[in-house]
Amino acid sequence: MKKISRSINNSDVNRFRRLVQIILFALFIYGGWLAVDISTYMPTFSCPFVESRGGTCYLFPLQHQINISFPQILSRRGIGLATGFIIFVLLFLPFNKSWCGFACPLGTVQDWISRVRTRLGIRYSQYARATSGRLGWIKYTLLALLLILPLSMSNSWFGLPLLSHDFATPYCMVCPGRTVLPLFSADASQLTVDFSSTPKMVLSTLGMAVTGLFFVGAFVKKRFFCLFCPMSALLYLLSKIGFLRLNKLGENCTRCGNCLRACDMGIHGIADDINHKNMITDDCMMCFKCVSACPEDDCLSVDLFKLPLYKSTTQGYFTRMEKRSAHDR
């Protein structure tokens, strides 16, 4: 048992992650061709606008299901809404936010764009801690709008008229998943402005602008879109009940900063915070690159039900360093 855990701790989680990302990307984008459909309630982007998809992002059914009047909440429609949420939570629980680091197709595309930039030898932008903090509210605002707009199609607020049905899936209209992911099945039909009504025109124009920002942003800053993602906000709100955890033993931390330098999201707390055990923040995608980069025994660990699956060790750190320098030679 000790041998197995030593060889896991000596491994490079990022190589494993890249492999899982490729497999899941193929499943989410092309699974439909193999008659694979994992679920309609995926805790990550698996876009319903991809014809050949093998699973659907939960934000799509959620926006449809939340178009419900308050008196209907106790009806069959309300039960449907609650059931959908329970299935989503059940899928989320074992993996927590690692859906972002390992599974989300939109996250994977951003990582591929970053690799192109690395190959070209261009440095990345980093945000100061205060800037990341200031941007943090955007994803929560998007999450609130995603719920409030469809809800306003069935409920009048303060005597205001009901919202038009063109707001049925407002977030999908601006999400880069809708425009970018179908491109991988040779479908560019979403790259257009919908002139059928004013709301659709405004939303689809915004969607095109966000798509442009997605590509430019991901080239300039690693995981740029993830900073604004409402799915990340929703997953973070549930993260405390997730079974998979990223934990830190502050007394073993020397504040060397290796973990922060490895972190694509630039999360300062992973290096600076020596007082808290739980290291999952709203921007953390649970990629575990920080654990690989930490040279201190038992300082950072990935735990499932309090059982360590992968943890930082001095031996693991130097083993990875040696392998990397042999690879670069």
- Which residues are at the interface with ligand SF4 (CB under 6 A)? 44-45, 100, 104, 106-107, 225-226, 229, 231-232, 246, 253-259, 262-263, 265, 267, 270-271, 284-290, 293-294, 296, 299-300
Long-range contacts of 277-282 (CB under 8 A, 24+ apart): 277/247, 277/248, 277/249, 277/250, 278/240, 278/245, 278/246, 278/247, 279/246, 279/247, 279/248, 280/96, 280/97, 280/236, 280/239, 280/242, 280/245, 280/246, 281/236, 282/136, 282/139, 282/232, 282/233, 282/236
Instruction: Give the shortest CB-239-to-ligand SF4 separation in angstroms.
Output: 11
Instruction: Give the shortest CB-155-to-ligand SF4 separation in angstroms.
Output: 28
Task: State the angle between helix axes of 76-92 and 230-238 in degrees (0 to 180), rounded to the nearest 10.
Answer: 80
Instruction: Give the shortest CB-10-to-ligand SF4 separation in angstroms.
Output: 16
Contact present, 285 and 97 (Cβ < 8 Å): yes
Instruction: Give the shortest CB-225-to-ligand SF4 separation in angstroms.
Output: 5
Q: Which residue, 92 or 288, has its beta carbon nearer to ligand SF4? A: 288
DSSP letter, residue 3: H
Please tell me the number of Cα atoms within 13 Å of 257 on its side-chain side.
2
Instruction: Give the shortest CB-223-to-ligand SF4 separation in angstroms.
Output: 6
Q: Which residue, 62 or 263, has its beta carbon nearer to ligand SF4? A: 263
Q: Which residue, 84 or 230, has its beta carbon nearer to ligand SF4? A: 230
Q: Which residue, 183 or 201, has its beta carbon nearer to ligand SF4? A: 183
DSSP assignment of 96-140 equals TTHIIIII-HHHHHHHHHHHHHHHTTPPPP---HHHHHHHTHHHH
Q: Which residue, 113 or 270, has its beta carbon nearer to ligand SF4? A: 270
Task: State the angle between helix axes of 230-238 and 137-151 in degrees (0 to 180), rounded to the nearest 10.
Answer: 100
DSSP letter, residue 11: S
Cβ neighbours for 317, distance < 8 A, ≥ 6 positions apart = 292, 293, 294, 295
Q: Which residue, 17 or 68, has its beta carbon nearer to ligand SF4? A: 17
Q: Which residue, 94 or 257, has its beta carbon nearer to ligand SF4? A: 257
Instruction: Give the shortest CB-147-to-ligand SF4 separation in angstroms.
Output: 16
Q: What gap in Å lies between CA 284 and CA 99, rounded to an integer?
A: 11
Q: What gap in Å lies between CA 11 and CA 310, rounded to an integer?
A: 9
Instruction: Give the shortest CB-85-to-ligand SF4 separation in angstroms.
Output: 17
Instruction: Give the shortest CB-36-to-ligand SF4 separation in angstroms.
Output: 20
Q: Which residue, 142 or 149, has its beta carbon nearer to ligand SF4? A: 142
